[in-house]
Amino acid sequence: MTDAMDFLRAGAAALQRGDRAGAERRIVRALALVPGHGECWNILGVLAVSAGDPAGGEARFRRASVCAPDNPNYPRSQAECLKRQGRADRAAGLLAGAVRRGVLSPDLACDLGDLRLGARDGAAAVALYRLALALAPGHARSLNNLAEALGKAERLDAAADAFARLAVLRGTAAAWGTAGAALLAAWRQDEARGALRRAVALDPSTAEHWANLGFAGLGQHAIALAEIAFDRALRLSPGMDTARAGRGTLRMLNGRLRAGAADYEARLSLPTFQPSRSYSRPVWDGRVQPGKTLLIHADRGHGDAIQFIRYARPLRAQGMRVVFHGPEGLLDLFRASDLVDDLSGLDGPPPAHDLQIPIMSLIHRMGTDLDSVPAAAPYLRAPDAAARRWANRLAGLSGLKAGLVWHGSVAFPYHRQRSPGLEAVLPLTGVSGVTTVLLQVANGRADLERHTPLGPFLDLGTQLRDFADTAAAIQALDIVISPCTAVAHLAGALGKPVAVLLDQGAEWRWMCGRVDSPWYPTARLYRQAVFGDWTEPVERLRRDLAALKEPLQDRP
Decide: helix, strand or coil at residue 526: strand
DSSP 129: H
Q: In the β-sheet with 321-326, what is the strand arrangement from edge to edge? A: 342-345, 321-326, 293-297, 355-358
User: Could you tell me if 388 and 556 are in contact, meaning their C-beta atoms sit under 8 angstroms apart?
Assistant: no
Dist. CA 490–CA 493, nearest whole Å: 5
Q: Please name the residue ranges forming H helices in 348-436.
A: 362-365, 384-394, 415-418, 422-425
* Preceding peptide of 456 cis, ω within 30°: no
End-to-end CA distance of the chain: 106
pTM, full prediction: 0.86
Give me the tens of pLDDT residue by residue for the chain, a chain 556 residues long: 458 677 778 877 887 888 878 877 887 877 777 888 888 887 888 888 888 999 998 998 899 899 999 999 999 999 999 999 999 999 999 999 999 998 999 999 999 999 999 999 999 999 999 999 999 999 999 999 999 999 999 899 999 999 999 999 999 999 999 999 999 998 888 999 999 999 999 999 999 999 999 999 998 899 999 999 999 999 999 999 999 999 999 999 999 999 999 999 999 999 888 888 889 999 999 999 999 999 999 988 899 999 999 999 999 999 999 999 999 999 999 999 999 999 999 999 999 999 999 999 999 999 999 999 999 999 999 999 999 999 999 999 999 999 999 999 887 667 778 999 999 999 999 999 999 999 999 889 999 999 999 999 999 999 999 999 999 999 999 999 999 999 999 999 999 999 999 998 999 999 999 999 999 999 999 999 988 899 999 999 999 999 985 544 444 4
- Rounded to a whole number of angstroms, the CA Rg of the chain reads 31
DSSP 79: H
